[in-house]
Structure 1
Amino acid sequence: MPAGLIALALGGFGIGLTEFVIMGLLPEVAADFRVSEASAGWFISGYALSVTVGALVVTAAVTKLPRKPVLIGLLVLFIAGNLLSAVSESYSMMLIGRIIAALCHGAFFGIGSVVAASLVPASRKAGAIAIMFTGLTAANVLGVPFGTLLGQNFGWRSTFWAITLIGVVALAGIALLVPKQDAAAAKSLRSELGAFKSTQVWLSILVTILGFGGMFGAFTYIAFTLTEVSGFASTSVPWLLVLFGAGLFVGNFLGGKAADKALDKSLILILSGLVAVLVFFALTAANPVATLVSLALMGGFGFATVPGLQMRVMHFASSAPTLASGANIGAFNLGNALGAWLGGVTISAGLGYTSPIWAGAGITITALAVMVAAGAAARRTVAPHATDQHAADPNVAEPNPVSAAPAGTADVGSESREAAAR
């Protein structure tokens, strides 16, 4: 495993911790700044909106620059935002710190995905992306519980000081361990925007929004489901979420492995599994044992889509993948907002605390339908260009985007076929 992937994963860990740990510290932060819970909620929603903006605007602004210095610069931005949060003396100062930290989020994961994929052979690219995203899943499994515990015992500011330190270590790791990127990798903004001419790029982004939106539609209000429907005590919720986080960790790893073998087929199977899990969860939420199983599986199937969806966007934008990759990170956050909004609508309509899970299942079914259509369209494009050698290659299970490229992406496709032949 290239050491640079570990440095990228550590950066992802710090960024994931920044995004999620505030949820466990919100009461302490609200009390310190003497604001309502709704006002404190902007530390979460403001961050998410800034991620979406930063994923496009910041990525577009740095697209002509070499990727390694950009990643270092983004981590400097991350460190500055968390340092500002740690020393904040007012609500507005804290909110500005959150926004500054969020602006690097989408660009870091978008550009980091491209860099991670460049560090390994073509047949292992999705797995490399999964390793980078392991930092994000580890932030949920380990970082959030311990970050919350640190903040509750030593003050919430101590958590942000710790995150700042993690950012410094990640910056040093990337500076030392990530190899210098080929200067030819830098593309003009016009070239990067040209990647959005691909219908498959847009279909992949739509699947990201809907697929992740389905999972977060169920997850956003999970505390209410666990306490009001499943019968768990509120003090158990943080530890139950560790189970969900463990599912994220395993799903991310296995999803990357599956995507490297058969990209579109794996995404279709994973989305189908997520639909089944959500329906099962909605039907059995009153059963505590079944709920434990559903939590782990929902996290697993939900995050198993991430490496494949990120790889799919990068593949179909192969001539200039950086901006498209960043846009897809923004799409994940847009999906979060969509799922949370629709789940809130169902609860407000009086449909009960399992209704967000049903809503999530409905969104995911739509994602599955789009993915099936996108996969079929990709195969129709690939088929006329398939060679006899490709058709006979036992290492290529199907003519999917990982192993053969549609028109306009011949270089990436040939690279993948050569890797499969090796």
Structure 2
Amino acid sequence: MHSSKPKLLRRRPRPLQTQISEKRRLIVMVAMSLGAFGIGTTEFVSMGLLSMIAEDFQITEDTAGVIITSYALGVVIGAPLITALTGRVPRRRLLLILMAAFTIGNGLSVFADNYQVLLLARFIAGLPHGAYFSVAGLSAASMAPVAQRGRAVAFISMGLSVATVVGVPAAQALGAALGWPAAYALVALIGLTTIGALWFLMPHMTKMRPTNPATELGALKRSQVWLTLAMGTVGFGGMFAVYTYISWTMTERAGLDPSWIWLVLMVYGVGSVAGNWFGGRLADRNLEFGILFALLMIATALTAFYFTSAHPVLGVINFGVVGFFGTSLVPSLQIRLMDVAGDAQTLAAALNHSALNLANAAGAAIGGLVISAGFSYSAPALAGTALALAAVGVWVPTFFLRRRQLSSAEDKS
């Protein structure tokens, strides 16, 4: 019996992940990375829209800043909750649902006519953030050859890094020209485009076995998962201690004209893109010592920034180096969580993004405490160095405990 639908409207059966070519795999990864690009754009552009939002709703800028907290809260809550409860949902379908929720949250932000609605919209937009990166990263790793898993995960994260260079400035310019809702409209359009691309291109992820909440929550019983998350939360926090106050550091401390701050942020973005690429290869080369190397280099770059931040050119270049080594840590942490989580990979990978958002909040708070204590705008960099070295302190027992666990497992087999 033939379908009565016109030929163009009939849905072709999607291929299995084992049936797609290398070219198709790369195209699918680009589609998933486009979603990451949209998420990165909406996460960071809000910071530049605060003054316009505050003026529009007649509120103070610190009150407007709560919309950033609301988004982060959505990430921290949504990442573990969604991944724990959706283990039985096919990965292709889940990615489409997550991107639909993301698009709805940003669409609601466009039409928010008061502060409370905008807070709710930003919370909704943040809910799928961690789960999307988790499922997309695991899907990319599942489709890739084993020796290229780190590069596959980094490719998805690349969308977020590129957003800091291209997406955020574009959305910021659009918001300045047409009003802040236009920035979120652009993000919603990116979300719709991603949904279309995933609908037509994403294969059925048959190698990714379904799980249940009990299986996913089993990740929380594993000490290696908690130790890896601790390395990310502590080690990554130092970068945000500097990033949050970079405008004041470069203008008040280095004497840079405020009109050049866009260049400072762009250099950081370029460093992040390069660091993400480097981090993927670092993870594939030597996962454990790659993490140690990244943490030590973060500490070195932040210490150097304390001294170079008094000079506009050296400070900007050094800030890019901070972005490079900070971002290079992420793929290794993601792959390590996949390796130590057993069958609960989705939740563990999502928790990585909760940890990084906690690092964002904690780093900003620690940097603020250092400045309010009367120290210079350069001082948060040294606080960041201390955090990176503390993460090295977590790495040491984590590494030896993991080695002992693997050795014990080999003896039993």
Residue of 181, 191, 205 corresponding to 1:157: 181
Change (3 A) 1:183 1:30: same
What TM-score comes out, normalization by structure 1 length? Answer: 0.89
Task: Extract unaligned runs of 5+ from structure 2.
Answer: 1-21
Q: Distance in 2 between matches of 1:184 and 1:324?
A: 15
Q: Distance in 2 between matches of 1:60 and 1:197?
A: 14
In the TM superposition, residue 180 of structure 1 has moved relative to its aligned partner by 0.7
In the TM superposition, residue 82 of structure 1 has moved relative to its aligned partner by 0.7
Residue of 218, 226, 236 corresponding to 1:202: 226
Within a 5 Å distance, the mapping from 1:368-407 to structure 2 comes to: 368-383=392-407
In the TM superposition, residue 296 of structure 1 has moved relative to its aligned partner by 1.0
String of CA shifts for 1:283-319, please: whole Å, max 9, x gaps. 2211222212211100000000011101101110132
Within a 5 Å distance, the mapping from 1:340-351 to structure 2 comes to: 340-351=364-375
String of CA shifts for 1:125-176, please: whole Å, max 9, x gaps. 1110100001100110111111111111122111111111100011111122
The answer on 1:363 being equivalent to 2:387 is yes
Q: 1:325 matched to which residue of 2? A: 349
Residue of 256, 263, 273 corresponding to 2:297: 273
Residue of 239, 243, 252 corresponding to 2:276: 252
Q: 1:109 matched to which residue of 2? A: 133
Within a 5 Å distance, the mapping from 1:11-410 to structure 2 comes to: 11-182=35-206, 185-383=209-407
In the TM superposition, residue 322 of structure 1 has moved relative to its aligned partner by 0.7
String of CA shifts for 1:357-416, please: whole Å, max 9, x gaps. 1111111111112123212222233346679xxxxxxxxxxxxxxxxxxx8xx9xxxxxx
Percent identity over the alignment? Answer: 38
In the TM superposition, residue 320 of structure 1 has moved relative to its aligned partner by 2.2
The one-letter amino acid paired with 1:364 is: A
In the TM superposition, residue 352 of structure 1 has moved relative to its aligned partner by 1.6
Q: Secondary structure at the match of 1:337?
A: helix
Q: Retained in 1: the 8 A contact 2:83–2:346?
A: yes
Q: 1:415 matched to which residue of 2? A: none
The one-letter amino acid paired with 1:30 is: A
Q: Secondary structure at the match of 1:357?
A: helix
Q: Secondary structure at the match of 2:128?
A: helix
What TM-score comes out, normalization by structure 2 length? Answer: 0.91
Q: Distance in 2 between matches of 1:385 and 1:372?
A: 20
In the TM superposition, residue 224 of structure 1 has moved relative to its aligned partner by 1.0
Q: Retained in 2: the 8 A contact 1:55–1:106?
A: yes
Q: Distance in 2 between matches of 1:106 and 1:169?
A: 20
In the TM superposition, residue 53 of structure 1 has moved relative to its aligned partner by 0.7
Q: Retained in 1: the 8 A contact 2:142–2:207?
A: no
Paired residues, number: 389
Q: Secondary structure at the match of 1:204?
A: helix
Q: Retained in 1: the 8 A contact 2:86–2:212?
A: no
In the TM superposition, residue 62 of structure 1 has moved relative to its aligned partner by 1.3
What RMSD over aligned residues (CA atoms) do the two structures have, in Å?
Answer: 1.6
Q: Distance in 1 between matches of 2:49 and 2:29?
A: 30
Q: Distance in 1 between matches of 2:49 and 2:233?
A: 27
Q: Retained in 2: the 8 A contact 1:66–1:183?
A: no
Q: Distance in 2 between matches of 1:34 and 1:369?
A: 46
The one-letter amino acid paired with 1:155 is: G
Q: Distance in 1 between matches of 2:145 and 2:308?
A: 43
Task: Extract unaligned runs of 5+ from structure 1.
Answer: 388-406, 411-422
Q: Secondary structure at the match of 1:319?
A: coil
Q: Distance in 2 between matches of 1:227 and 1:337?
A: 23
Change (3 A) 1:347 1:184: closer
String of CA shifts for 1:329-365, please: whole Å, max 9, x gaps. 1011011111111111111111121121111111111
